[in-house]
Amino acid sequence: MPINTVIKFVPQQEAWVVERMGKFHKILQPGLNLLLPLIDSIKYVQVLKEIAIEIPKQSAVTSDNVTLSIDGVLFLKVNDPYRASYGVEDPEFAITQLAQTTMRSELGKISLDTVFKERELLNIAIVDSINKASNAWGISCLRYEIRDIKLPERVQEAMQMQVEAERKKRAQVLESEGTREAEINVAEGKKKSRILASEAEKIEQINQAEGRSNALKTEASGKAEALRVVAEQIKKDGFDSASLTVAEQYVKVFGELAKKNNTLILSNNVNDVSNMVGQALQIYKTISNQTTASLQIDDKSENNK
């Protein structure tokens, strides 16, 4: 403690408690202060800055009966130098004991897994509990930080195995999801490929059908035109040339049949070529009359137009 030398200079962020004749007299503020010799004495010096107190390592049991070894750091500040001096004998010791007992009490309410998940909530709960008791001492707890949590070796090994199993499970889940996505993509690709192939085949068949249809139409038109030209030519030249042509074709075909086959089925009038030509010409006349009538109808329809 500082000695009374009548003139005292109090540093910033400190408060000196002065007793006069053994009784509280006043609190010296930072700066120049005068004291009476032999009568006034400086009894307490309170630091108004934030103070960090180390909480020793202690054992605590969680709600699931796991013993932990835990320590921390407590941050305090003196708000009322008078109550901090006369409210408690040793403020630092009292706060340390209060922090340890509060820590044991709060850890007994939660399980081991919750200790690591809700570490911040645990710190807040300890600060609130300390402040309820320390307000009467003129001291406020600003924050509490858990520094180290040590587990028994068997519990730590079990937790490590649990973590490894969880990681393997996640890896298997991710692998299965990747396999599923790959199979879905392959199936969708095959589906689209089959759809495109069927559409291409459909278009190809349509094109082929249209091509065959156009070819048949063109061939039919060509045959019709050829028949029309032949009919017109026969009409102009007469039936003599037609009779001669039919007779020549008859003799030629008959000769070809005689060369290629050993057995022939002949009619009873095979020697009567004129009769065969006459029958052919009679058929031709019938077709020619039908063609002439059709041409006349077409001419009348064109004249009407």
Report residue 69: phi and psi, to 5°.
Answer: -115, 120
Question: Which pair of tokens denotes residue 197?
Answer: 């192939």
For position 271, what pLDDT does the model report? 53
Q: Give Cβ neighbours of residue 273 (< 8 Å, ≥ 6 apart).
A: 247, 250, 251
Does this model's pTM top 0.75? My answer is no
Burial string for 264-283 (b: 16+ CB within 10 Å, else e) reads eeeeeeeeeeeebbeebbee
pLDDT of 291 reads: 54
Query: Would you give per-residue pLDDT tens digits along the chain (305 residues)?
Result: 778 788 888 889 888 889 888 888 888 888 888 888 888 888 988 888 888 888 888 888 888 888 888 888 989 898 888 988 888 888 888 888 888 888 888 888 888 878 777 788 888 888 888 888 888 888 888 888 888 888 777 776 777 777 778 878 888 888 888 888 888 888 888 888 888 888 888 888 888 888 888 888 888 887 777 767 766 766 665 555 555 565 566 556 656 655 655 554 555 555 555 565 565 556 556 655 655 555 555 555 555 55
Residue ranges of alpha helices (H) inside the chain are 81-86, 91-107, 112-117, 119-134, 153-237, 239-260, 273-304
Assign residue 90 a region (left: φ > 0; alpha: ψ between -120 and 50; beta: otherwise): beta
